[in-house]
Structure 1
Amino acid sequence: MDSLTSEIKQSIKLFALWRALAWNDVVNRYRRSVLGPFWITLSMATTLLAMGPLYGSLFQLSLQDFLPHLSLGLIFWALCTGIILESSTAFNDAAHFIRQTPLPFPLYILRVTWRQLIILLHNVTVLPVLFFIYPPHWSWTMLLIIPALLVTLLFLGSVGLITAVLCTRYRDLAPIVTSMMTLLFFITPIIWQLSLLPAEHRFLAQLNPFTHFIELLRGSGLGETPALLEWGLTLALALFAACVANLLITKKRTRIAYWI
């Protein structure tokens, strides 16, 4: 993966650029707002307060078990869907840069990723209150959230790059991607638990790659030790997506500027 690796190295060297662009995107989105980006936190807290008691009673689960499950599921799903959906327009949104400056293409995906990490940090501010009310199983295994997040970001960044190239070439794909992510929300164990499915049907949910990433992140965040199989599957999916992204960007790099 020499070509993509080279572009990623160039992008990392330009860290200050895509960090500044991402922060500027967030600031502009909430310009002249009283709470600013903390509207993100308020929105997430409101969603949890509305959905938690409702779905907890629907599934006949105690809030102590269900609310942490729902909270981490929604927070990490927001990261996943944010990176992929915003990557679908990443090249078009940066058309003036692409036409005028020979910057590496992964930089624009890193811009989206950093922007979503800022949103993630705002969302996780609801967790201290939640964990104070419903304490998780505190343990050192919670540090596994760091490698779990890195593997997930590798997968999301690779899928984001693939999505960016395809949606730039075929404009009709962007709304299709949006519809697919909406569908995946309902078939990913976010508002429901995988254990609620009958054992013979559980494999259907496990065919969804996002199931494994959400379970890996949420399990680590709740102090549980994710199964070795989850680590293997998520890492394999991330590396496969990276290989596809490398192949696509290598073949289509010179055409992207003409597509936007």
Structure 2
Amino acid sequence: MTRHLVRDYLESFRHPEFWIYATWLDLVTKYRRSRLGMFWAFFPPVLYTFGVGSFFAHLQGIPAGKFVAHLGLGYMIFRFVTVSLSEATTTYAGHANFILDGRVRLTDYVLRVVAKALFYFMLAIPVMAVALAMSPDFRVVGLLALLPALALVFINVAWMGAVVSVIGARLQDVYELVGSALMFSFLFTPILWTAANAPPDTLRGGIARLNPLFHLVEIVRAPLLGEPIESWTYKYLVVFTLIGWLMAIHVYRRYARFVPLWV
């Protein structure tokens, strides 16, 4: 039977019981035997934002309070996208029993990994609130653009997750390929450095701006820190989102029906 990506996503949101419960169960079983429990979910953003952020601020001669918010926000967005995509590549194989039993609304499994990444993102919000409070660049008005910007990030994660999950069901090496590509993209995403360090009219700035994570991070972070968003970022994300969804709809319609055979 031919599957339609948008219709399946809408059905998954209308009936979220499976993927929400499965995500909750994953998290409970992961931390229930740990003495420190949910502390381990808070630890990475705290360590990265204030530990790594202070270290790199010192290396660059920037006040720590000014740089930790920049690094922390970039890390949050980057982690959400990369965790969602890397786990999406193996989500169908991990749920093979459900798929073979006839639960073939495949978007449920994509949303399961995205919901898990979103949970960690939300846990980091108090850490980011402290980092923003420390930053002299924080602009309260930037909060007005936060939800639309995060929605745009989610929309792009949704189509990218759908594509890599279908391809990953057919080719197991996709997990390693996506992981390596995301690791490499970290170097071209303004997290440890700022967009001003790589102007768009330079070779390194042009290469960095070919990276979609560059723009997904900037669209969320820049308004919060009172930084201008380049017009190129708006154009890039409009084209990237539209072409991406058209490609994802085609891939899902053409190949999703083969997933039960591949897993």
What range is the shorter-chain TM-score in? over 0.9
Q: Does 1:20 align with 2:21?
A: yes
**1:173-212 paired onto structure 2 within 5 Å:** 173-198=174-199, 199-201=201-203, 202-212=205-215
Q: Is the 8 A contact 1:80 1:156 kept in 2?
A: yes
5+ residue gaps, structure 1, are none
Q: Deviations over 1:22-54 (max 9, x none)?
A: 121222222212332331212221222321222
CA 225–25 in structure 1, closer or farther in 2 if over 3 Å, else same: farther
CA distance in 2, matches of 1:223, 1:36: 36
Shift of 1:16: 2.1
Q: Please, which of 239, 246, 255 is the counterpart of residue 243 of structure 1? A: 246
CA 38–105 in structure 1, closer or farther in 2 if over 3 Å, else same: same
CA distance in 2, matches of 1:144, 1:211: 17
Q: Is the 8 A contact 1:75 1:120 kept in 2?
A: yes
Letter in 1 for 2:83: G
Count residues in correspondence. Answer: 259
Structure 2 length-normalised TM: 0.91
Structure 1 length-normalised TM: 0.92
CA distance in 2, matches of 1:235, 1:38: 38
- Residue 167 (structure 1) aligns with: 168
Q: Is the 8 A contact 1:26 1:37 kept in 2?
A: no
- The secondary structure found in structure 1 opposite 2:36 is coil
Letter in 1 for 2:220: L
Q: Please, which of 227, 250, 261 is the counterpart of residue 258 of structure 1? A: 261
Q: Is the 8 A contact 2:160 2:244 kept in 1?
A: yes
Q: Is the 8 A contact 2:209 2:215 kept in 1?
A: yes
Shift of 1:113: 1.1
CA distance in 1, matches of 2:140, 2:196: 23
CA distance in 2, matches of 1:213, 1:149: 9
**1:126-137 paired onto structure 2 within 5 Å:** 126-137=127-138
Using the TM superposition, name which of 173-182 and 190-199 deviates more.
Answer: 190-199
Letter in 2 for 1:218: R
Q: Percent identity?
A: 25
- The secondary structure found in structure 1 opposite 2:238 is helix
**1:96-111 paired onto structure 2 within 5 Å:** 96-111=97-112
- The secondary structure found in structure 1 opposite 2:249 is helix
Q: Deviations over 1:168-221 (max 9, x none)?
A: 101112111111111111111111111112542211110111101011111133
Superposition CA RMSD, Å: 1.8
CA distance in 2, matches of 1:105, 1:126: 34
